[in-house]
Structure 1
C-alpha cells in the first residue's frame, strides 16, 4: 500500500475557527508569544500561562473539523497515511485520522513540570493547585520555544518512506519542522497547499495556491491519479 505523509500547520485549523499562532504584530491572542509559550514565561508567570491554555482548550471544544481534515482522513481508505502536525488540537483525530504525530504537543494532555514522559489526558481547566503525585506542578503538554521537539526524529524517519507528501497550513518558516520536506525521497512528489505560497512549482513540487479546504481536495485528487497511473 502506498504511503502518504501529510505535514499540517495552523492554516488547517484556522478554517475551523482556531486562531493561528500569531498575528502580523507577533502576538498570540494579545500576548507576546514568549510570555505564554516559553520556559521563561512559565517560570515568570505560570498562572498567566495556565489561563492562556485554559482558554485555548475551551475554544477547542467549540470547533469542529473542516473539509481539509475530513479529506485527509478519507485518504486512509486507499493509502497508508501518516499525519505530522504542528498543531496542538485534536481536529485531525476527530475527523478520523488514525495516525497523527504531534510535533508541538497536545492541548488535551498535560505532564508534570519535572517529567517530560509522564503524559496524561487533560480536558478541563488547569490551575496552580494541580500537582503530580510527586508534588510537581502540572503544565500543558506543549513544546514551547527553546524546548526540544521529541517527535522530530520519528517525523524525519516517517517522511523518508513517503510515496507522496502533502504540506498544508504551514508557512514553512518555523524550524525544525520547516525542514522536514527535505527528507522526502528524491522521486517523491510534494504538494504544497497555501493561499499565499512562498515557493513556486518546480520539479517534484506542485504548488496549489488555495485555502486548505479546496486545496487539499485537489492535492488528494492529484495523488490518486498519479499513484494509480504508476501502478
Structure 2
C-alpha cells in the first residue's frame, strides 16, 4: 500500500470515482501509443493518418491501417490495470472516461465506460446516417455504404469534435466525482484534457498514474510514477482492507 499511503484515509470516503484513461493503459496490453516510440506505422506518421483529410486523400491506405490496428486490438487482452478498474466497481460508483478506442475496459468487465473518441469496431457512412459494428474485414477497400458513399471508422480523428452527447455526459461525471484518477494519458489532447479541471471545481482529489510527467502533473494531489498495471491493483487493495 506504499504508493497510496498518504491518501488512504481520504480514499475511504470516495463514493464516486472517475477514471480518465489514455493510450498508456493499453500499451501494457501490447497496443502501441500514438506518441510513443512505437507510434509509427510503416513510414507513415499515425497522427497524420488519423485525420479526415488523410482519409479523403487515400481512403484505401487509412482503411488498411485501421484493419491492421483492429487485428492488433482484437488479439489483445485487458491487463491488470483494466481489471483493477473493473474490480473497483464492487466498492464504489466507478465511471471510466476513455480516450481509447480498443474496448479493453469493457472486455475487462467495466460496466460504465464512455468512449470519448469512438470505437474501432464501429463504422459510419461519410454521407448518410448509417452506422454499425464491424467484427470482420471488408471484402472491398475502401468499403462502401448501401447509399454508395465511402464508409469510415466511427472514431474521432484529429480536428474533429467529440460526440456531444458522450462529452456532455462525461462532464457531468467529472463534475460529480469525489476522486478522479488520470491514467496513461499525456493530457495534451483537447477537450479530454479539461476533465480534471471540472473535477477540481468540485473539490475532487486528483491522482495521476503515469511513468512520465504530463501537462498537468503539478496540479495533481498525488502523482504515482508507475504503470497502471502495477499501481491500480494496489489501489483496489485499499478498498478491500477498509
TM norm structure 1: 0.88
CA contact under 8 A between 1:35 and 1:49: conserved in structure 2?
no
In the alignment, the residues of structure 2 paired with residue 147 and residue 210 of structure 1 have an alpha-carbon distance, to the nearest angstrom, of 32
Give 1:167's aligned residue.
Answer: 182
CA contact under 8 A between 1:6 and 1:165: conserved in structure 2?
yes
Give 1:155's aligned residue.
Answer: 170
CA contact under 8 A between 2:32 and 2:39: conserved in structure 1?
no
In the alignment, the residues of structure 1 paired with residue 24 and residue 187 of structure 2 have an alpha-carbon distance, to the nearest angstrom, of 11
In the alignment, the residues of structure 1 paired with residue 116 and residue 232 of structure 2 have an alpha-carbon distance, to the nearest angstrom, of 21
Question: How much does 1:93 deviate?
Answer: 0.5
In the alignment, the residues of structure 2 paired with residue 69 and residue 112 of structure 1 have an alpha-carbon distance, to the nearest angstrom, of 31
TM norm structure 2: 0.84
Segments ≥4 residues shifted beyond 4 Å: 199-202
In the alignment, the residues of structure 2 paired with residue 132 and residue 159 of structure 1 have an alpha-carbon distance, to the nearest angstrom, of 37
Give 2:53's aligned residue.
Answer: 40
Tell me whether 1:119 sits opposite 2:119 in the alignment: no
SS of aligned partner of 1:216? helix
CA contact under 8 A between 2:177 and 2:202: conserved in structure 1?
no
Larger CA deviation: 117-126 vs 167-176: 117-126
Tell me whether 1:102 sits opposite 2:112 in the alignment: no
Question: How much does 1:155 deviate?
Answer: 1.2
Tell me whether 1:215 sits opposite 2:231 in the alignment: yes
Give 2:28's aligned residue.
Answer: 15
CA contact under 8 A between 1:83 and 1:99: conserved in structure 2?
yes
Larger % of helix: which? 2
Give the root-mean-square deviation of aligned CA atoms. Answer: 2.4
Give 1:180's aligned residue.
Answer: 195
Question: How much does 1:25 deviate?
Answer: 9.2
In the alignment, the residues of structure 1 paired with residue 217 and residue 50 of structure 2 have an alpha-carbon distance, to the nearest angstrom, of 32
Q: Which blocks of at least 5 consecutive residues in structure 2 are unaligned?
A: 1-13
Tell me whether 1:145 sits opposite 2:161 in the alignment: no
In the alignment, the residues of structure 2 paired with residue 130 and residue 82 of structure 1 have an alpha-carbon distance, to the nearest angstrom, of 34
CA contact under 8 A between 2:33 and 2:39: conserved in structure 1?
no
In the alignment, the residues of structure 2 paired with residue 74 and residue 210 of structure 1 have an alpha-carbon distance, to the nearest angstrom, of 20
Question: How much does 1:27 deviate?
Answer: 3.8
Give 1:194's aligned residue.
Answer: 210
